[in-house]
Amino acid sequence: MRFDIISCQPDLLDSPFSHSILKRAQQKGLAEIHIHDLRKYAVNKHGQIDDYAFGGGAGMVMMIEPIDKCISELQAERKYDAIIYMTPDGQTLNQGIVNQFSLLENVIILCGHYKGVDERVRQHYVTHEISIGDYVLSGGELGAAVLADAIIRIIPGVLNDESSALTDSFQDGLLAPPVYTRPAEYKGMQVPDILMSGDTPKIEQWRFEQAIERTKQRRPDLLNEE
């Protein structure tokens, strides 16, 4: 799966894709990450990509021309299944959306900045608008990294044990149950006996019951979703 991420702060994206699972996914050829500096498509030699908002008001707006040039150049090379704009007023990201995106082949992620992009970009170029929560960041780069991470880790072959992703929180509409590892006892704190019983059906039933209980306590809204 190929990700083309358009940013006016590309250096912010160096670290997230250079380590751990995301790095291995690229090494395996299962994911391609390409970062594009929007300032290379600036409207003048000063690297301008933003301007004042028509009608006045505080904050700068990302201009349509540099974004159009960048997207058009990418689209001339291949077909894209989605152009995703990271914005606080977009659809809140959840596991269902991630699962749908993971079935695509080529996506563009546009990182917002300043007061956002010229509305014409949203009207004529963007196919999906995604938010990672009800708060505002300095730019869309961290949100883009979150989105890409969530998608890449469930691409078949990325994780050594693919069943690990299938048992994550939210995949079945529940939070994940508690997990334990060695030692079985530490300073009087014991691992539940059932987990060391070797009885797989009973262990799975215990995990299911724990997942339901944890979801009731922490995210009851998930149980109310149809």
Asked if residue 89 belongs to a known ligand binding site, the reply is no
Cα 183 to Cα 108: distance, rounded to the nearest angstrom: 45
Asked if residue 137 belongs to a known ligand binding site, the reply is yes
Could you tell me which residues come within 8 angstroms of residue 86 by beta carbon, excluding any fewer than 6 positions away? 109, 110, 111, 112, 130, 131, 132, 140, 143, 144, 147
Over the range 50-73, which residues count as b (16 or more CB within 10 Å of their CB) and which as e?
A: beeeeeeeeeebbbbebbbebbee
Asked if residue 198 belongs to a known ligand binding site, the reply is no
Asked if residue 134 belongs to a known ligand binding site, the reply is yes
Could you tell me which residues come within 8 angstroms of residue 157 by beta carbon, excluding any fewer than 6 positions away? 28, 30
Cα 97 to Cα 100: distance, rounded to the nearest angstrom: 5
> Distances in Å between the alpha carbon of 177 and those of 81, 150, 170, 208, 215?
35, 20, 11, 7, 9
Asked if residue 133 belongs to a known ligand binding site, the reply is yes
Asked if residue 112 belongs to a known ligand binding site, the reply is yes
Backbone angles phi, psi at 186, to 5 degrees: -145, 115
Q: Are 7 and 36 in contact (CB under 8 A)?
A: yes
Q: Which of 130, 133, 142 is nearest to 86 (CA)?
A: 130
Q: Which residues are annotated as a binding site?
A: 112, 132-137
- Annotated binding-site residues for S-adenosyl-L-methionine read 112, 132-137
